[in-house]
Amino acid sequence: MANSKNERHVISVIVMNESSVLARVTSLFAGRGYNIETLTVAPIPQSDMSHITIATNGSAKVMEQITKQLHKLIPVYKVIEHEEMVEKEMVLVKFPIAENLSDISALCSAYNGGIVNVGPEMVITMVSDEPTRIKHFIEATQRYNPSEVVRGGVVAIER
Amino acid sequence: MQMSGAQMVCEAIIAEGVKTVFGYPGGAIMHVYDEIYKQNGFEHILNRHEQASVHAADGYARATGEVGVAMVTSGPGFTNAVTGLATAYMDSIPMVVISGQVPLSLIGTDGFQEIDAVGISRPCTKHNFLVRTLEELPRVLKEAFYIARTGRPGPVLVDVPKDITVDIGEFVYPDSVNIPTYKPTYKGNRRQIEKAVEAIKSAKKPLLYLGGGIVLSNASDLVREFALKTQIPAVETLMARGVLGAKNPLLLGMLGMHGNYSSNMAMSETDLVISFGARFDDRVTGKLSEFAKYADIIHVDIDAANIGKLVDVDYPIVGDITEVVTKMLEQIDDIDTDRYQAWRDILGRYNELHPQSYVDSDEVIKPQWAIERLGELLGEKAIITSDVGQHQMWAAQHYPFDRPRQWINSGGLGTMGFGFPAALGAKRAHPEKTVINITGDGSILMNMQELVTAAEYKIPVINVILNNHFLGMVRQWQTFFYEKRYSETDLSFQPNFKALAEACGGIGYDVSTKEEFDAALKDAIEQDKVCFMNVQTNRFEDVLPMVPSGGALFNMMLPQKVLSNTEAK
Ligand SMILES: Cc1ncc(C[n+]2csc(CCOP(=O)(O)OP(=O)(O)O)c2C)c(N)n1
């Protein structure tokens, strides 16, 4: 078990909405040497809880420890290690206005997105899709000289 | 009732039944100290360093099982307390530390004596709070005590901004606590317990592996009963000394890096490890791949994260030792204790082959002799605390601990300077007991200012300094693993320990013979005053057996074989 390979995992951590709860979670990762690939957090509607989604990697044993250690934190209500999930990530990409906008638009729609803002000097596109597809999308945009790329981190929901 | 935040702090302490608070005042906590002055629900002891206050509260908690309380000011007061928090955290000691903080309006401005206390203490507390409103203060205090003592216990920090201690508001101390996200598991899973009992009944070479969790759960009597009924041999960790009692024939001794031969061999050969409240620390397991290689493992622990952390477990049981062992006891009436007879015989022979031994001397006091002598003279009557180093290991190996909470030491963090202040806390909790701190000439200096505290408050703790003029444990590693390059471990330059104790209002004894040892101890007990017994020992004694760090438990460096019973002991 100890030497099983490092795999990517997504976990959801449901926490009480209180000050420094995010710091507790992230400092646990830092202090125990676990990785954080992405992290997103937002309040859960109509509750006093928040939903933290963390993409991380580790062996089965490490994942078990991460889950248990998170659960030990006092304001943590629930930890879900996702198995069967729908997982999405969002990305914003800015392009110079001089690029081929119809190509860019077509590319975005291939990835469930589109142009969301146009200014005198640039356009901004938004795409949300599975993380691997987001990666492909970003690669594909390279030929249009993107001037800025902002990824959002994953959110996931168990099926 | 209307009162200030400072008063609320005092009222909560009183409501929790705390009789003694250890602390040190300063700007941010002054309002609370002003209320301490006015009340008479608890006493306050002014240590001479905040680290000592926290260790003293810790010693109080370890000696009683109740929550210890320490109080410090913001900034340096708090940072001085951090080692104390970390020490308690590593050994799961219930404790509440209250620290002053700069006023809310100054937080984040690098104000005078402002430091991010909750940030710094996050990894070394079970939980911590920065109080943000007066309204939440009573609830926070209640939760702090509750969290400290429930589940796997641990220290909790409550950081209180100064303005909140000044403000006046309504005080109602809550009767109960409801934290929806914090529900410790006490009852073990019934099915798992049944399976574990079945495994015990079908094992041939089972071994009880007893840890500090038994002490924390006050489950020693149950565990003794379990051992008696099953006749399964047992080993104790450093934190569990006293659980089974030194006279118990089933007890093989302490296991681990400085465990005795039969304990370490038992762990290497057992076919079923029954772990009650132990956490497979690296100082216990040695090389993991060789640890209990032939065994299935039953692991009972209140902290799920301890289970499967280091070794793979076959029978995981999350629960309180008291609850789980009670249930196990109901299921073992039909156990066949003869089944394990062959195994007990093997272990008995291991013990005859290499008993815990040392070569005594007529010329010089051997540290092991000093500890055995304390055991002979005081036995069950004393509470023993210790610092960290060789003396600590010898104490754990050679003192005949008879009951839990008799042995108080910093096992997880290994904090030099712990023993003396912890002894103050233990003595305050049990004034009727003789309290001895077994220490070294290195460690004792790390909180020697407590001589003044002990003298002022008349807390007659006996510090037995096993003086080898070395940072002995580090010296031992240098001897074995660094070709005797004694880099910065020679303590030939010494204070005059006797004069030092006297200068602070205590008594000092210089001891270099066995007669002097007995006489000094007798006098120290009669005088009933804090003292330093400066015991000259031989310089180059090693703690043995020793499993070199990272080695397999069965590869022990053993003491010189003792030739005859008259020549040596
Ligand atoms: C605060 C702290 N600093 C350093 C150490 C490392 N350390 C472990 S044992 C030891 C030597 C202790 O010497 P002494 O108190 O004289 O005891 P002896 O080993 O000689 O019995 C040291 C320096 C420690 N455990 N704690």
Q: Rounded CA gap, B14 and B174, in Å?
A: 13
Give the pLDDT score at B563: 52
Tens digit of each residue's pLDDT, chain B (569 residues)? 999 999 999 999 999 999 999 999 999 999 999 999 999 999 999 999 999 999 999 999 999 999 999 999 999 999 999 999 999 999 999 999 999 999 999 999 999 999 999 999 999 999 999 999 999 999 999 999 999 999 999 999 999 999 999 999 999 999 999 999 999 999 999 999 999 999 999 999 999 999 999 999 999 999 999 999 999 999 999 999 999 999 999 999 999 999 999 999 999 999 999 999 999 999 999 999 999 999 999 999 999 999 999 999 999 999 999 999 999 999 999 999 999 999 999 999 999 999 999 999 999 999 999 999 999 999 999 999 999 999 999 999 999 999 999 999 999 999 999 999 999 999 999 999 999 999 999 999 999 999 999 999 999 999 999 999 999 999 999 999 999 999 999 999 999 999 999 999 999 999 999 999 999 999 999 999 999 999 999 999 999 999 999 999 999 999 987 554 444 44
CA-B472 nearest atom, ligand 1: 20
ipTM above 0.85, yes or no: yes
Buried b (16+ CB within 10 A) or exposed e, B309-331: bbbebebbbbbbbbbbbbbbbee
A116 shares its domain with A131: yes
H or E stretch at B275: strand B272-276
Neighbours of B540 (CB within 10 A): 11
- For ligand 1, atom 3: residue with the closest CA: B416
pLDDT of residue A4: 61
Is the CB of B542 within 6 Å of ligand 1? Answer: no
Q: Is the pTM above the cut of 0.80?
A: yes
Looking at the fold, whether A96 and A74 belong to one and the same domain comes out as no
Task: Indicate which of B101, B159, B181, B310 best probes the interface with A, i.e. most A CBs within 10 Å of its own CB.
Answer: B181
Distance between A114 CA and the closest CA of chain B, angstroms: 41
What angle is formed at CA B221 by the lines to CA B219 and CA B225, rounded to 5 degrees?
115
pLDDT confidence of residue A19: 87
The residue out of A83, A112, A129 marking a domain boundary is A83
Distance (Å, whole) CA B420 – CA B422: 5
Residue of A47, A62, A72, A77 best to disrupt the B interface, most CBs of B under 10 A: A72
CB B66 within 8 A of CB B17: yes
Which position has the higher pLDDT, A3 or A101?
A101
Indicate whether A69 and A103 sit together in one domain: no
Query: Do the Cβ atoms of A64 and B304 come within 8 Å?
Result: no
The parent domain of residue A12 ranges over 2-83
CB contact under 8 A, B305 and A68: yes
Q: What are phi and psi of B210, to 5 degrees?
A: -100, 130
Residues A23 and A59 in one domain: yes
Say which DSSP state A60 is in: H
Residue A109: pLDDT band with limits 50, 70, 90: very high
Domain co-membership, A94 together with A62: no
Say how far apart CA A123 and CA A102 lie, in whole Å: 12
Look-up of token digits 């990305």: A91
Domains of chain B by start residue, with CATH: 2-170 (3.40.50.970), 190-353 (3.40.50.1220), 367-536 (3.40.50.970)
Q: State whether A115 and A148 are in the same domain.
A: yes
For chains A and B, CB pairs below 8 A equal 37
pLDDT value for B118:
98
Q: What angle do CA B155, B160, B164 make, to 5 degrees?
A: 155
Residues A102 and A32 grouped into a single domain: no
Same domain, A74 and A7: yes
Q: Is B112 a catalytic residue?
A: yes
The rounded percent of chain A whose pLDDT value lies above 90 is 96
Q: Closest to B305 (Cβ–Cβ): which among A1, A72, A76?
A: A72
Minimal CA separation from A64 to chain B, in Å:
8
Of residues B497, B372, B373, B504, the one with CA closest to residue B443: B497
**Residue A20 shares a structural domain with residue A34:** yes
User: From the CB of B9, is ligand 1 less than 6 Å away?
Assistant: no
Of the residues A35, A53, A83, which one is the last residue of a structural domain? A83
- Helix (H) or strand (E) segment spanning residue B435: strand B434-440
Q: What burial class does residue B222 get, using C-beta atoms within 10 Å of its C-beta: 0-12 exposed, 13-18 middle, 19+ buried?
A: buried
- The amino acid sitting at B13 is I
Residue A41 pLDDT greater than 80, yes or no = yes
Q: Are B242 and B403 in contact (CB under 8 A)?
A: yes
Centre of ligand 1 from the C-alpha of residue B375, in Å: 23
In short, whether B416's Cβ falls inside 6 Å of ligand 1 is yes
Q: Best mutation site among B416, B470, B491 for ligand 1, i.e. most ligand atoms within 8 A of its Cβ? A: B416
A126 and A94 assigned to the same domain: yes
How far off is chain B from A43, nearest CA to CA, in Å? Answer: 16
Asked whether residue A119 falls in the same domain as residue A92, the answer is yes
Query: CATH code at A104?
Result: 3.30.70.1150
CATH of the domain at A22: 3.30.70.260
Q: How far away, in angstroms, is B416 Cα from ligand 1 center? A: 6
Q: Is B389 in the pocket of ligand 1 (CB under 6 A)?
A: yes
For B122, the closest of A1, A24, A71 (CB atoms) is A24
Chain A partners of B305 at a C-beta cutoff of 8 Å? 65, 68-69, 71-72
User: What is the Å distance from ligand 1's center to B58 Cα?
Assistant: 20
The CA distance from B173 to B473, in Å, is 48
A84/chain B closest Cα distance in angstroms: 24
* Residue A156 pLDDT > 90: yes
| Co-location of A70 and A102 in the same domain | no
Report how far Cα B548 is from the mean position of its chain's Cα atoms.
23
Q: Which residue of B has its CA nearest to A25?
A: B122
Domain end marker among A54, A83, A112: A83
| Total number of domains in chain A | 2
Any A CB within 8 A of B126 CB: yes
B440 phi/psi in degrees, rounded to 5: -120, 170
pLDDT of residue A1: 41
As given in the structure block, the two tokens for residue B220 are: 């020693």
Q: Output DSSP code: residue B488.
A: T
pLDDT of residue B569: 41
Based on its alpha-carbon atoms, the radius of gyration of chain B, rounded to whole angstroms, reads: 24
Is the CB of B143 inside a 6 Å radius of any atom of ligand 1? no
Specify whether B392 is catalytic: no
Options B473, B533, B546, B556, the catalytic residue: B473
Q: Which of B50, B66, B114, B323 is catalytic?
A: B50
**How many Å apart are CA B234 and CA A15, to the nearest integer?**
41
CB pair distance less than 8 Å for B181 and A15: yes
| Nearest Cβ partner for A64 among B180, B181, B308 | B308
> What is the rounded distance in angstroms from the CA atom of residue B238 to the CA atom of residue B210?
9
SS3 B557: strand
pLDDT for position B567: 42
In the block, tokens 């659960």 appear at A71
